[in-house]
Chains A and B, each alone.
Chain A
């Protein structure tokens, strides 16, 4: 084990995989000469050369599509978006080409590609730079969506994503790149996609949360413990496929569920979890499934507004207490 920043864990996963398989290459804006907009790919140009660590012009649609074509032709591209907010100009490449070509070709072509980069809010950046995309991309059959919360998961999941033969949307976070944690340095450290992690055990209420919200949920669990309530915190880690079995098992134990998600609330990850849980374990629920999400509005700029806009620890505590019918 070594203590690594989140960005270093991502880099370690890419470096190890690229050393293992020369069909893997990294392409995106500022990934090579600049060493990465958020220094995720620092040193990789020197190690692997310009043939495998490739700078692009600001052409998300172009280089995302180039990645899809390269994947169809047998390579394994890792495409970095400087943020996933910029993936929207490449939307067609992700949701039509990456997601559907295998299907439309009757299984003839695989698309082993990873699109990775920061997701969600990163402070006072206003509406276009603060979108959490997991609800959006997980809508599309054909895509997988991964959203790790800590450096160790980031490494193990990214290595699995790179080896996966399906297109994977791999979500990181600007504000979490400096987060430090113990990271396995075991050879072939692979965490399977689609497996949730029980981060904290508890019998009173289940909190499902990923990425930044995960850390808020852990804080909320501490505060709830001070009031005598033991929350179980589940980090789904992968949004699609979703480990609904782990969530349902927890709800059978706690009978109460709060889903925390920095997506907007309408037609989102949180609504999906709520729906699936009531379909599967309705009889175990002692309270409605509650949600703590970004507000149903574009992200604002003003400091007080954006702080209010995002899921806060106190919002999670309040929702949990509501589910517990506690004061």
Chain B
């Protein structure tokens, strides 16, 4: 893939053919598509919603059903987490991913879990579950219990799972982007063939760390895909209010990297785009993939999201990625309504079981406060 896509103009290149009522990722947010320019620019590829079928992408029927289940698990998990937050079982901040599940699941199916690496920001429940973290360890982490993935030391914003090469879960906007480039650097240094998928939101693009890292990654040709999950709002600030140039994929041009737009409302768009970008990364060609997505909830639990209209939210919910895939499964007779209802019931039970697990899991013992600060086991802490 590397090299193959290098072209001299910025005309969007339609990947696959738009079908049916396909929604272009470009037009989705009302942003203009890139215009042709003179000079040596990187290619820009559009992966519109509705343009792909699972057969065309080489995804089996079973995998397609599993993708649905994977997305639904994230949705049900977070709905229950929101309820538990309301019951004060969960403290701190809780940032929900609801609406964005096609991004995590589409990626998880495009990558090689265990060989490739993933790092993301604080809206991390979806990716953690998509990669294979268990509902139990995820819910218990929110509860601050030792059964949690970080033994209750990280909380909602800091999921980590080393066995899955999941590098977190990071709470400082933009701070982990350079870390992602470093993980990719290590893949190349060790020659293990892995790539690092580095996720962050639109708000992180305003941080210096983003721009420094794009330059370093391109300069060192690290096997990295930088995935901008553009959900249109950085907390309460719409992208057009925060960025002089809000078409984020266009930043790639400044760093000599390829870029593309995918629709976060269609899992096949994400899957296809991620597959192509991972293939580039395997040839040490870093790239930017902007995924246009949408979060239904506020920035965090305390945010009523008064900065957007109900009409806008309703319109986006009509494109819901889970409902979309459900319709696809039914239309193609890959699953019946009964099958899907049964899957939903199983998932709901799994999530309820995780709540019970978290309730029963003990709180960390007080001496754990000094554990995992250092690798050194006899560090002389200043204790009481």
Contact = CB atoms under 8 A, between A and B. Distances in A.
Interface of A: 25, 51, 54, 56-57, 59, 61-75, 77, 89, 92-93, 96-97, 101-110, 112, 141-142, 144, 164-166, 194, 241-242, 244, 276
Interface in B197-215: 208-209, 212-213, 215
Contacts of A244: 380
Nearest to A65: B178
Contacts, number: 158
B216 A72 contact: no
Contacts of B376: 164-166
26 contacts: A25-B189, A54-B220, A59-B212, A59-B216, A61-B178, A62-B215, A66-B179, A69-B184, A70-B183, A73-B182, A73-B190, A75-B185, A75-B186, A92-B175, A93-B178, A102-B373, A104-B153, A105-B169, A106-B153, A106-B154, A107-B372, A108-B150, A141-B373, A142-B374, A166-B376, A242-B380
A105 B212 contact: no
B371 interface: yes
Interface residues of B, number: 52
A51 to B, nearest CB: 7
B162 A109 contact: yes
B172 A142 contact: no
Interface string B53-65: 0000000000000
Given A65-B209, A97-B175, A106-B149, A70 B154 contact: no
Nearest to B208: A61
Given A93-B178, A103-B372, A165-B375, A108 B160 contact: yes
A18 B212 CA distance: 27
B189 A57 contact: no
Contacts of A112: 375
A66 B150 contact: no
A96 B121 CA distance: 14
A171 B374 CA distance: 20
Contacts of A57: 215-216, 219
Given A65-B175, A65-B179, A106-B150, 8 more contacts: A62-B212, A62-B215, A69-B186, A103-B153, A107-B372, A108-B162, A109-B167, A244-B380
B158 A104 contact: yes
A141 B371 CA distance: 11
B181 interface: yes
Given A104-B168, A108-B160, A69 B182 contact: yes
Given A105-B150, A106-B151, A64 B186 contact: no
B70 interface: no
Contact of A65 (B117, B158, B181, B374): B181
Contact of A74 (B152, B190, B208, B375): B190
Contacts of B179: 65-66, 68-69, 72, 93, 97
Contact of A105 (B162, B176, B379, B380): B162
Contacts of A194: 380
A105 B215 contact: no
B142 interface: no
A141 B370 CA distance: 10
Most buried by B among A77, A101, A110: A101
B357 to A, nearest CB: 17
A130 B90 CA distance: 45
Contacts of B162: 105, 108-109
A65 B177 contact: yes
Nearest to B189: A75
Interface in B114-164: 117, 119, 148-154, 158, 160-162
Most buried by B among A68, A71, A108: A108
B180 interface: yes
B187 interface: yes
Contacts of A102: 372-375
A63 B216 contact: yes
A106 B190 CA distance: 26
Contacts of B184: 69
